[in-house]
Chains A and B, each alone.
Chain A
């Protein structure tokens, strides 16, 4: 089958006189450590059916700031290959996790060459080959964790109001971490789950975020903030919220009632 393809391509190239071919290997760095440097060779392959070309390297993706390639541009005669060295420099404060990117060898020579087509609309083609890059930043002995240090919210609110939660989250590990909060509000009827935006935290950093819950129905609710970090979930202490029309809490209402009754008794005795 491959022979047939090459024969067909060769015959076509004889008649047309233009062909281009390109391939490139991928670069998987695997596990890499913070503050270290790694090199991987990547090979750009051309076909003998190709023409001489000049290639320029483009770097894209999450690894762009950490990756350099030598050389960044090069001439490549048809049928030859070029080895590139992809250098990865992992910052000391790099967040642990998976990173992806790519380097692309972009051919500068197009086919058909300008002026080779007759008048009217015409399209030419250039070729490029993309090498996928991947790296997993690890740290031996790393602890990636976060905790909720406080949850501040009104204990009593009116129905149909929006309840604001001030939630403090702290990085309790020894590497930068991403904490994803979820607000869980429960009652006898069920639990409402409100997802929050992931928070990036440096080591020892503590930040306060705001989350909101629509208090629609009267009742007594329990709120818990759950934090997911590096596959582990931790919960805050539960907070009680009462949704009621009354501006007084149950205890306050009893005290007021007793005071009124006492006042009434006093007035009656005097009269």
Chain B
């Protein structure tokens, strides 16, 4: 009986001595800062020859693949201009950005002539670890002067947090 008591007391002392060490153990925390990381691959960006007063849609003009951990919001704006109107420019003429649409099929958003960001909205978000295919539509106004028109669209990605 006495032996058992001694063993129990020794066991308690061992536990008591070990406990502070266990309680003082460091706890490590880690965190990953996520963002979106969108790869844009232009598949076809040339509308080719169009008649004034007609329009053309390029299906699957761009592929956007988001390899990041957060969904990506997309804004778009023309950066090319003729001094006053932003859009596709020729030597001295312009097709305003308000004649251009971009986005996923059925969710295309019209850009503007002011060269300011147009939010493409939640339906055009690029989800994390997924891809999206954007269509591009160009309406050529009636009476538009003939010429080769080129323009640049800036796509801005913002991680949704």
Contact = CB atoms under 8 A, between A and B. Distances in A.
Interface of A: 1-2, 5-6, 8-9, 12-13, 16, 18-26, 45, 47, 49-50, 102, 104, 106, 110-112, 114, 117-130, 132
Interface of B: 33, 35-43, 45-50, 62-63, 65-68, 75, 79, 88, 95, 100, 129-131, 136, 138, 140, 148-159, 161
A16 B43 contact: yes
Contact of B42 (A2, A8, A112): A112
Contacts of B40: 19-21, 111, 125, 127
Given A19-B39, A127-B40, 11 more contacts: A5-B65, A12-B41, A45-B37, A117-B150, A120-B50, A123-B153, A124-B42, A124-B153, A125-B40, A129-B158, A132-B161
Contact of B45 (A22, A50, A104, A123): A123
Contacts of A128: 154-157
Contacts of A21: 37-40, 65, 67
Given A21-B37, A22-B37, A128-B156, A8 B67 contact: no
B47 A120 contact: yes
A106 B37 CA distance: 14
Nearest to A107: B154
A121 B153 contact: no
Contacts of B42: 16, 18, 111-112, 124-125
Contacts of B138: 121, 123
Contacts of B131: 5, 8-9
The 3 closest A-B pairs by CB, nearest first: A23-B37, A21-B39, A120-B48
Given A8-B63, A125-B152, A13 B157 contact: no
